[in-house]
Amino acid sequence: MKKKFAAYLFVFMIAIPSTFSLAEPLDLTEAIGKALESNYSIRVVRQSERIAETNNAWGAAGRYPTIGFGLSSNNRFDFNEGPDQTSNSLTPSVTLNWILFNSFAVRITKEKLDALEKLSQGGTAVLVEQTVQSVVRAYYRALFEQEKLKLFEEIMNLSYDRFEYEKTRKEIGISVTFDVLQAKNAWLEDKAAHMQQEVTYTNALRDLKYLMGDSGDSTVELSDEFSAVLNDYAIDNLRDRMLSNNKTLSNQYLSQMLLEKETALARSLYYPTLSLRSGVDAFNSRTKYEDAEAATRNWQDVYGNISLNFNLFDGGARKRGMRIARIKYETGRIETDEMIHSLTNELSKLFDLYNVRKDLFNVTEENIEAAKLNLEISGDRFRAGTINSFNYRDVQFVYLSAALGRLQAIYNLIDTDTSLARITGGIVTEYGQ
């Protein structure tokens, strides 16, 4: 039996390093980097950004001419009362169409395409911010669940020590079976809570890996510290940063610019259009009568025509289009004002919430210190026999509640700080990307 035990122990000690080696250390910056590289939503939106970049060209705006080539062939065989006739003709052509002036529509369209590309990039920037915020939340959520797992393990170990203590007391005749069973039930209850927390922690890691686009089976070990960083913010400074850097608001400004370009395009319809059409036509034919020599004909034409078109009356369509474009522009301005008001209101609420959560965190720090000291004193008093197991169990619950409250306060503070960084447009910079 001793040899078997030694063999099992040897195998276990060998297996421990290999098991731990599977866990890869992962800090928050690395997690964000992987998410920005492999996150599915970001990969999709970057394709849309490439499409907008490809469309942003002078050719798409109509600056350059179009050149076409045509070729037609006619073949005919006539059965006449006289000699049979065979005729063949080949007509190639090259045509150039070029709008020389289109009421500045080409320039306006190109500016619109520039704005659309920037708007696409702005949409990507918003998604990047959302992804960074989601990764930060998921990373600290996993750390939060990891700290809770350690806490449940600590409580479980305390209950196990109490269970072992009661068994020893019973063996020497000091304790009774009732006390042993009470201690065992408490230990099993804490053990079940610990097992459930292991599942919760594992699922939190899975959520983090999903945001990172990691579909592998390797495990990760979170290397950052789960702690609160207390900042002193000034509301005026936060508001200025929000108005200057908020990506959603910047995209709204670009949308307003697009509406302005639409108004300019509607106005351009009041001006004439000057276009050029030129080309080269060639004609080659061959005609042959029965019992006669074939006759051929060849010629080429070169032409160039300029046309000026001016729409004098269209039933009021241009006027209605101009009026609608202006209404849309005014609507965009109202939506921009509403967005500024909404963001300012949200910023004020986040600022107040952050300050409240800072105070709550300080309260939980004092609470955990008192609960921890009370647990230590109660443990000594329980072993000394001055309090019973029920009192000691109540103190354990108080300590557990205080410790969980502290962990929740840390996570809430980090979450609010992340929201402030997001709304002020600094979340990507703050987290080192």
Q: Are residues 295 and 344 in the same domain?
A: no
Last residue of a domain, one of 264, 285, 309: 309
Q: Are residues 226 and 174 in the same domain?
A: yes
Looking at the chain, the whole-number percentage of residues with pLDDT higher than 70 is 92
Domain annotation covers residue 382:
yes
Q: Are residues 279 and 328 in the same domain?
A: no
pLDDT confidence of residue 6: 43
Domain annotation covers residue 202:
yes
Q: Are residues 116 and 198 in the same domain?
A: yes
Q: Are residues 158 and 278 in the same domain?
A: no
Quote the number of domains for the chain: 2
The domain in which residue 221 lies consists of: 18-62+104-272+317-430
Q: Are residues 151 and 73 in the same domain?
A: no
Q: Are residues 265 and 129 in the same domain?
A: yes
Which DSSP state fits 27?
-
Give the CATH number, domain containing residue 293: 2.20.130
Q: Are residues 234 and 95 in the same domain?
A: no
Let me know the angle formed at the C-alpha of 140 by 137 and 146, rounded to the nearest 5 degrees: 140
Q: Are residues 45 and 183 in the same domain?
A: yes
Last residue of a domain, one of 261, 282, 309: 309
Domain annotation covers residue 3:
no
**Measured distance between the N- and C-terminal CA atoms of the chain, rounded to whole angstroms:** 58
Is 5 a residue whose pLDDT tops 60? no
Is 11 a residue whose pLDDT tops 50? no
Burial classification of residue 131, based on how many CB atoms lie within 10 Å of its CB (0-12 exposed, 13-18 middle, 19 or more buried): buried
Give the CATH number, domain containing residue 234: 1.20.1600.10
Task: Write down the pTM of the prediction.
Answer: 0.77
Last residue of a domain, one of 263, 282, 309: 309
Q: Are residues 97 and 24 in the same domain?
A: no
CA dihedral 33, 37, 41, 45 (to 10 degrees): 120
Q: How confident is the model at residue 240 (pLDDT cuts 50, 70, 90)?
A: very high
Domain annotation covers residue 12:
no
- Strand runs labelled E in 140-193: none
Q: Are residues 305 and 259 in the same domain?
A: no
Looking at the chain, the whole-number percentage of residues with pLDDT higher than 90 is 47
d(C-alpha 235, C-alpha 243), whole Å: 12
Query: For the segment 97-146, what is each residue's pLDDT rounded down to a tens digit?
Result: 998 888 788 899 999 999 999 999 998 889 999 999 999 999 999 999 99
pLDDT confidence of residue 16: 40
Domain annotation covers residue 10:
no
pLDDT confidence of residue 19: 38
Is 25 a residue whose pLDDT tops 80? yes
Domain annotation covers residue 168:
yes
From residue 60, alpha-carbon distances to 118, 268, 273, 357 in Å are: 16, 18, 18, 53
Contact present, 344 and 389 (Cβ < 8 Å) = no
Domain annotation covers residue 6:
no
Q: Are residues 298 and 170 in the same domain?
A: no
Domain annotation covers residue 9:
no
